[in-house]
Amino acid sequence: MVDLEVKVLGGGREVGRSAIAIGYSGKYLLLDYGINFSEDDIPQFPQHIRPSLIEGIVLSHAHLDHIGAAPLIYSSYRVPTITTRLTKSLIGIMIEDFLKISGYYIPYEYNELNTLLDNTLELDLNESLEVGDFHIKLLNAGHIPGSAMVLVDVEGYKVLYTGDVNTIETKLVKPVHVDGVEADILITEATYGDTQHPPRDYVERELINSIIDTVDSGGNVLIPVFSLGRAQEILCVLYQYAPGLTVYYDGMVRRISEVISSYPEYINRYDLLIKALREFNMVRSSSERKKIIKEKGVVIVASAGMLKGGPSQYYAKQLSSNSKNSIFLVSYQARGSPGRKLLEFGVIEDGGSLIKAKIRWFDFSSHADSEGLLKIVGGLRGVKHVIVVHSEESVGKEFVSRVSSLDSSLKVYYPANGDVIHINV
Ligand SMILES: [Zn+2]
Ligand SMILES: [Zn+2]
């Protein structure tokens, strides 16, 4: 019998701040060490774990809510960090940006980031590596380029951690495949555990039709995007359906797109991505920005996705007073973010004036919905324990009950941060 411990350091009953430690005979393998932001935009870190007890860290993908706290481990200790080649190339850019924007609140510096990068081992999808007693294999997660699920084998017992996962095909990444994968314990995200996403091709057409309506009437369209993943997905969609549109892309999107496009093996429709980046227009300066907003019938794809800073905020302010223009949101809008305020109250800032431009939200989620997540649970071989993380509390509770009714023999857990689950397998 193997006594495994699953320690939830972050991501328990909340979206983001993912941090799970798998313990075996006094040593731990850390799966992600991310952050999230409070409503006041202050970074929240996961619970502490003694670095000397960690054998290694596996980072599932390069979003900050999975990697933002990882350099902390390197203030006092050296362990291997394991991730895909593409994620390794993105970690530096994402964390440097985080340090630049939130540096005052971050308890580590560039030094720790560099030490992390120096100690990072690249592992290809479907390849394996041993770290202490932990045998690690990465599997495609279908979430963003470079994203991976982590399959951990301890003495023949297997734990599958989904990280963030998607079960539908998108332009950027192929969907996850778990059929036949063997796992005794599943640790799954459930961001949309109570939701059904509309069919993707329907959402794509809706977006394109809405853009064409605006452009035809002489208005401009702003699409605020997350710079890693959503930006490139939207550029691919625009190029596939309407290559003749005048499209500009701006912000951190530029640098991230450049990195991603050097890794064709992680991209589903690499042809579309390359053509979109080449034929659409990259914005290089603030004087160019000023010219663009005076044009008519253009589409601007710019970070940040929730209008928290970045050029999207500038464009939103400039375009908001004209009812011919549109702002189309395509990303998750966290509570308290300017994007959420725009959707709920039609203003960007508290006390700001009402926006005249058309506002609409489109569901381009890169997370599986309830049906997709249940397919993962049902597709695995031998799963006995399901641990639900990375979801808002009401969503997670609903998903737990859906998993339980799928198969009543499963043991389903919905831990809070700080909870430790002991499993004898
Ligand atoms: Zn996440
Ligand atoms: Zn993510």
* Residue 276 confidence (pLDDT): 98
Q: Give yes or no for residue 38 having a pLDDT over 80.
A: yes
Res. 104: pLDDT tops 90: no
State pLDDT tens for residues 278-312.
999 999 999 999 999 999 999 999 999 999 989 99
Residue type, 129: L
pLDDT > 90: percent of the chain: 92
CATH number of the structural domain spanning residue 51: 3.60.15.10
Q: What pLDDT score does 351 carry?
A: 80
Position with higher pLDDT, 38 vs 352: 38
**Residue 164 alpha carbon to ligand 2 centre in Å:** 5
- Whether residues 31 and 137 fall in one domain: yes
Residues 392 and 313 in one domain: no
For 361, phi and psi rounded to 5 degrees?
-115, 135
pLDDT at 91: 98
- Answer yes or no: do 225 and 266 share one domain: yes
* pLDDT digits 0-9 by tens, 381-395: 999 999 999 999 999
Closest ligand to C-alpha of residue 141 is 2
Cα 339 to ligand 1 centre (Å) = 18
Q: Are 15 and 391 in contact (CB under 8 A)?
A: yes
Distances (CA, A) of 401 to 72, 371, 408: 36, 13, 10
Tell me the pLDDT tens digit for each residue of 332-364: 888 888 999 999 999 988 788 889 999 999 999
25 — alpha (psi -120 to 50), left (phi > 0) or beta?
A: left
> pLDDT by residue (tens digit) across 154-191?
999 999 999 999 999 999 999 999 988 999 999 999 99
- Mind listing the pLDDT tens digit for each residue in 127-162? 999 999 999 999 999 999 999 999 999 999 999 999
Domain range for residue 185?
3-195+366-424
pLDDT value, residue 39: 83
Indicate whether 223 and 159 sit together in one domain: no
Distance 130 CA to ligand 1 centre (A): 25
In this prediction, residues 67-96 reach a mean pLDDT of 97
* Residue bearing the bigger pLDDT, 1 or 296: 296
Percent of the chain with pLDDT over 70: 100
Q: Are residues 224 and 173 in the same domain?
A: no
Span 63-70, average pLDDT: 98
The pLDDT, as a whole number, for residue 386 is 98
User: Is residue 102 located within the same domain as residue 61?
Assistant: yes
Rounded to the nearest angstrom, the distance between the alpha carbon of 11 and the centre of ligand 2 is: 12
Distance CA 227, CA 107 (A): 24
Residue 425 pLDDT exceeds 80: no
Query: What's the mean pLDDT when you consider all of the chain?
Result: 96
User: Is residue 340 a contact partner of residue 349, using CB atoms and an 8 Å limit?
Assistant: no
206 and 272, same domain (yes or no): yes
CATH number at residue 263: 3.40.50.10890
Which ligand has the minimum distance to the alpha carbon of residue 166? 2
Domain co-membership, 325 together with 252: yes
Domain boundary among 361, 377, 404: 361
Q: Please report which ligand is nearest the Cα atom of 331.
A: 2
Claim to verify: residue 127 and residue 11 sit in the same structural domain: yes
Q: What is the pLDDT of residue 40?
A: 85
Give the count of domains, the chain: 2
Residue linked to tokens 């495994």: 4
Q: How confident is the model over 190-221, as pLDDT tens digits?
A: 999 999 999 999 999 999 999 999 999 999 99
pLDDT at site 1: 79
Q: How many CB atoms lie within 10 A of CB 378?
A: 13
Looking at the structure, do residues 305 and 396 belong to the same domain, yes or no?
no
Residue 296 CA to ligand 1 center (angstroms) comes to 37
Per-residue model confidence (pLDDT) at position 405: 95
